[in-house]
Amino acid sequence: MKKFRSVVVGATLVGLYSLLATTAFALLSPQAGLSSFTLRTAQLDLQIGNSSGGPFTPELQLDTNEYLLPNSIAHTQDFWVRNTSSSGLEFQLTEQLGEGDQDWLALKDVIEIRVSNLITDTGWLSLQEWEQSAVSFPGILGSGSTQRYQFSYRLPDTYGVDPDGVGPLQVGDAVGEELEGKITSNMSFTISGVLQ
C-alpha cells in the first residue's frame, strides 16, 4: 500500500510540475500581432451619357421616336458608358430588355436591335431575344474608362421567326400591312457589369 501511495504521489507531482512548466512556458512565449489594418468593400458603379463629355448619370433616355419601315436603313443612336468603380475593377457589360407595352406581342419577334462598340457588335437580335436573357456587349470596360457604343434598331423585310407559332405568317414571309401603325413603348434596358 505504501508503494502504491508513493507511485500516486510521484505521478501527481510529475503532473503538477508538467502543468506549471507548460504554463510558465506559455507565459514566456514571444508574440507578434497585426494592427491598424482596414477592410473595405469595392464601390461598383456604371454611369451612362449621350456624349463622351457627359454628363454621366445612372440612367439615360434615348430618343427613338422614329417610324420604322420594312428593310429600311437601321436607326442608330450613340451612348457612352463610364466605369466609375473602385480602382482596378473591369467589367464585361451585359444588357437585358424589359418587356414593352401596347403592341409588344406583334412587334417582339420582328423589330431587331444591335449594340456595337464600333469594332464588333452583338449581331441583330429581336426584342424577344433581348428580353429573354442578358446579352454581352462587345469588349471589356476597364476601371476609370469610358466606352462609346451604338444602339441600332431596324424592321427587317421578312419574319425571322414564326410570329404566332401557327400561321398563316411563317419564317421568311414578308412583313406587311399587319404591322402598320403598331407601337411598343416604355421599354428599358438594364446594363449590368460582370466583374472580370
Residue 42 lies in a domain: no
The answer on pLDDT for 22 being more than 70 is no
CA-based nearest residue to 149, from 159, 139, 157:
139
pLDDT value for 148 = 92
pLDDT value for 5 = 55
Residue 10 lies in a domain: no
Count of domains forming the chain:
1
Residue 37 lies in a domain: no
pLDDT value for 20 = 52
Preceding omega of 138 cis (within 30 degrees of 0): no
Residue 171 lies in a domain: yes
User: pLDDT tens for residues 58-100?
Assistant: 888 877 777 887 777 778 888 999 988 877 788 888 888 888 8
Please, are residues 50 and 60 in contact by the beta-carbon 8 Å criterion?
yes
Length of the chain, in residues? 196
pTM for the model:
0.71
Preceding omega of 163 cis (within 30 degrees of 0): no
CA-based nearest residue to 122, from 138, 104, 139, 107:
138
86 φ/ψ angles, rounded to the nearest 5 degrees: -55, 155
pLDDT value for 77 = 86
CB-neighbour burial class of residue 19 (10 A; exposed 0-12, middle 13-18, buried 19+): exposed
Residue 76 lies in a domain: yes
CA-based nearest residue to 63, from 53, 80, 77:
77
Cβ-Cβ contacts under 8 Å for 147 (sequence gap 6 or more): 80, 81, 117, 139, 141
Please, are residues 122 and 136 in contact by the beta-carbon 8 Å criterion?
yes
Residue 115 lies in a domain: yes
Q: Which domain, by its residues, includes 82? A: 47-175+182-195
Helix/strand/coil percentages in the chain, nearest 5: 20, 30, 50
The answer on pLDDT for 13 being more than 60 is no
Residue 26 lies in a domain: no
170 φ/ψ angles, rounded to the nearest 5 degrees: -135, 170
User: pLDDT tens for residues 110-131?
Assistant: 888 899 988 889 999 988 898 9
Residue 138 lies in a domain: yes
